[in-house]
Amino acid sequence: MTTQTIETRFNQLADDLSENGYGIIESFLSDEEVKDILSVLDDYQEAGDLKRAGIGQAENHQVDKSQRGDLIRWIEPEKAKDPTQVYLDRMRELMQFINRTCFLSLKDFEFHYTLYPVGTFYKRHLDQFKQDDHRKLSVICYLNFDWREGDGGQLRMYKPVGADEQIVDVLPVAGRLICFRSDLLEHEVLPTARERKSLTGWLRDQLLDVPF
């Protein structure tokens, strides 16, 4: 992103968040930045360092393939490889901007590399845990070049509209960033016909106390 447009695009995102509960920034990462992060993710994949994700937290943590089929690796910010640092730095900027404009007091973030193998999905859910409501915003940046409708893997959001809901589908195209209210928007990942890669995370209003 060019510095000139960052302010404008963050502004638009803040407006969309307060109006719709979600917002999108296209080309949040350049093609080059996406490729660099992909090579980090691919190395983890080859080394077998991506693990099946679970549902629930701490003692409630369990792996349930009928709910979600993605493989993940948590990012340790101090140890993250350079391409990932670029992303985390931009995320810090975004967090500060949101704190100034949306009157949230975001203090920390947690992110993981994510890979959905062919045929996997994540059933409809809300990102806030019952026992931890400190995830305020869900943020996902996609890393997939040439993604088409027919490849599936859409993020499907269910936006409450009065007593009804509106379906919003988002394709996981490279560089695209989606940000939505973790407490408000139920969503799912539709079955993917291609390997689907992303950085997935949450902006929190309380410091993480999970030591890596």
Ligand X SMILES: O=C(O)CCC(=O)C(=O)O
Q: Give me the residues that bind ligand X (CB under 6 A), please.
A: 122, 127, 140, 155, 187, 189, 198, 200
- The three-class DSSP label of residue 60 is helix
Q: Shortest Cβ distance from residue 156 to ligand X (Å)? A: 9
Q: 101 vs 188, which CB is nearer to ligand X?
A: 188
Residue 70 as a binder of Fe ion (CB under 5 A): the answer is no
Strands (DSSP E) found in 67-207: 71-74, 108-116, 122-125, 135-142, 155-161, 164-170, 177-181, 186-189, 196-204
Q: 109 vs 122, which CB is nearer to ligand X?
A: 122
Q: Shortest Cβ distance from residue 106 to Fe ion (Å)? A: 18
Distance CA 6, CA 13 (A): 10
Could you tell me which of 195, 142, 185 has the C-alpha nearest to residue 26?
A: 142
Residue 151 as a binder of Fe ion (CB under 5 A): the answer is no
Distance CA 154, CA 187 (A): 10
Q: Which stretch binds Fe ion (CB under 5 A): 10-18, 23-31, 48-56, 124-132?
A: 124-132
- Do 178 and 121 contact (CB within 8 A), yes or no? no
Kindly state the tokens that stand for 28: 């949040």
Member of 21, 72, 98, 127 binding Fe ion (CB under 5 A): 127
Chosen from ligand X, Fe ion, none, partner binding at 33 (C-beta under 5 to 8 Å by type): none
Number of H helices, E strands in the chain: 3, 11
Residue of closest CB approach to ligand X: 155
Q: Shortest Cβ distance from residue 22 to ligand X (Å)? A: 11
Buried b (16+ CB within 10 A) or exposed e, 123-145: eeebbbeeeeebbbbbbbbbbbe
Q: 84 vs 200, which CB is nearer to ligand X?
A: 200
Q: Shortest Cβ distance from residue 69 to Fe ion (Å)? A: 13
Q: Shortest Cβ distance from residue 43 to Fe ion (Å)? A: 25
Residues that bind Fe ion (CB under 5 A): 127
